[in-house]
Amino acid sequence: MPAADLDLAFAALGDPVRRALLSRLAHGDATVGELAEPFDLTQQAISHHVGVLRRCGLVEQRREGTRRPCRLKADRLALLSTWIDDQRRTWDDRLDALERHLTGDGAAR
């Protein structure tokens, strides 16, 4: 995933309302009105958050007659998860090497 796409996605995930919207969409498609129900926010505010999630590719919105349901793009979340897992592995390897060095196991190299 390009760095600019990662930046947009992680910036979008920095907001607790947007994270809650993604959690809701993980259970199924919903319209903006349905997404707004549990929040003390206007539909316009929820629409703004959905727009941010759409621009970074985490949500798609389609037309079904007069409805415009939103859908989580799980494949995009999977790309973020893969990036995080790669970072975790890199740091685990570095910390393991540091531990070997500090305990003397790596001194013979």
Does this model's pTM top 0.85? no
107 pLDDT band, cuts 50/70/90, is: low
Q: What is the pLDDT of residues 39-78, one digit of tens each?
A: 999 999 999 999 999 999 999 999 998 999 999 999 998 8
pLDDT score for 67: 93
Whether the Cβ atoms of residue 71 and residue 29 lie closer than 8 Å to each other? yes
Sorted by where each starts, the structural domains of the chain and their CATH numbers stand as 3-103 (1.10.10.10)
Q: Which residues of 61-70 are buried (b: 16+ CB within 10 A; e: fewer)?
A: beeeeeeebb
